[in-house]
Amino acid sequence: MTFTRSLNIQKGTGGVPTVLVVDLDKAVAASFTRKLRDSGYHVLEAPDWNQAVSLVRFHSRPIHILLTDMNKANHPALAETLKMCRPTLQVLFISEHADMNLPNVLDPETALTMVRTLLKSTAD
């Protein structure tokens, strides 16, 4: 798996950071979700686009990061749609395909490091 992040870094909000995990393979989502929760993050899960949009619209707390698969149909468009509702939302794309030419391999520990890096960059 590999990663990239959105280019628009904006100031985050305080509190426990929330990560929205959207439409990942169930086993991948479970391992990422477990690692993030064990590290103190609030994690929301959405198995598809519709539930992701609903969560972003109606969740009462800030959502800091979207974690989703770059290879799923229309997920870059999903990220843009969600950012229209939550402009400060940061995006962490992952890919299970090595041919995406994205810079680093992701496992749950690396994903956690990238989440921390994104959150730190928004606090600066």
pTM: 0.79
Question: Taking a C-beta distance cutoff of 8 angstroms, is the pair 117, 90 a contact?
Answer: no
For 58-83, the pLDDT digits (tens) are: 999 999 999 987 766 566 788 899 99
- Which CATH number applies to 2-123? 3.40.50.2300
Question: Taking a C-beta distance cutoff of 8 angstroms, is the pair 94, 62 a contact?
Answer: no
- So what's the pLDDT on residue 56? 94
- So what's the pLDDT on residue 102? 53
Q: For the chain, give every domain's residue range.
A: 2-123
Residues of the chain with pLDDT under 70: 1-14, 71-75, 96-106, 123-124
- DSSP codes, the chain: -EEEE-S------SSS-EEEEES--HHHHHHHHHHHHHTT-EEEEESSHHHHHHHHHH-SS---EEEEETTSTTHHHHHHHHHHH-TT-EEEEEES-GGG--SSB--HHHHHHHHHHHHHHHH-
